[in-house]
Amino acid sequence: MAGDPHYHLHNFIPNLVVTDDGRVGSIDSKALTTHKVPEYGAFFQARLADRLRSLGLRIGLDADGEAAVALDIPESAVTTFSKRDRQVEADAQRYARDLAMDWDELSLERKQQILHEASAAGRLRKTKEDTHAVWREQIAELGWTPESLLGAASAQEPTTAERRETAYAAASASLSAEFQLNAVLDAQRLRVHA
């Protein structure tokens, strides 16, 4: 369904800075190196995880070790609310069939055009109220409620040693993957893994 809850967030970097002397200017995009953007993303994910933990959610990392995920969202809910791409493609293929077109024979450009039209049509079919009602029904069918996430985290904070061990394990795994691609890492790249 158009507008289904998404499982990700974006970290926006506005093209605006205020200098130490109070002047307003734009960002020097050359300074946003291939190392800085991932570092900012990692910082954003860490802050997001902290915020979600403060709400009582148990937080871990995704399979790539890069994004914060709520551990207590059941896989059935993730699958149910991650269907938009599949739905748009099915709608596009149905639309092509209705026009006596063979989807497999269409050019990439034509497929993209039809996919765009199917996506837009899907977004226009439902009102916000309809969408929320459908979400509530789907969640009820799964036997799950978003409220079940709140307070799922242990009331006891991990010890400093436990936090360090968790951080060490995550950094070790990501650095190991990094060293599969690069023999040398500079300090900026290491900061991403910190």
Q: Residue 177 has which token pair? A: 């993957």
User: In the prediction, which pLDDT does 112 show?
Assistant: 83
What is the residue type of 89? E
Contact between residue 35 and residue 53 where contact means Cβ atoms under 8 Å apart: no
Q: Which residue has the higher pLDDT, 122 or 17?
A: 17
The most confident of 9-13, 17-21, 53-57, 92-96, by mean pLDDT: 17-21
CA-CA distance, 189 to 39, in Å (whole number)?
Answer: 8
User: In the prediction, which pLDDT does 145 show?
Assistant: 78
What is the residue type of 189? R
Answer yes or no: is pLDDT of 7 > 60.
no
**155-174: per-residue pLDDT in tens?**
567 788 988 888 888 888 88
| Residue 189 pLDDT class (50, 70, 90 cuts) | confident
User: In the prediction, which pLDDT does 21 show?
Assistant: 94
Q: Is the dihedral of CA 154, 72, 132, 136 positive or negative?
A: negative
**100-135: per-residue pLDDT in tens?**
889 888 888 888 888 877 766 655 455 556 777 877
- Find the Cα–Cα–Cα–Cα dihedral 44, 77, 166, 67, rounded to 10°: -30
| Residue 73 pLDDT class (50, 70, 90 cuts) | confident
Q: What is the pTM of this model?
A: 0.59
Q: Is the dihedral of CA 152, 157, 159, 163 positive or negative?
A: positive
| Residue 23 pLDDT class (50, 70, 90 cuts) | very high
Share of the chain above pLDDT 90, in %: 4
What is the residue type of 128? K
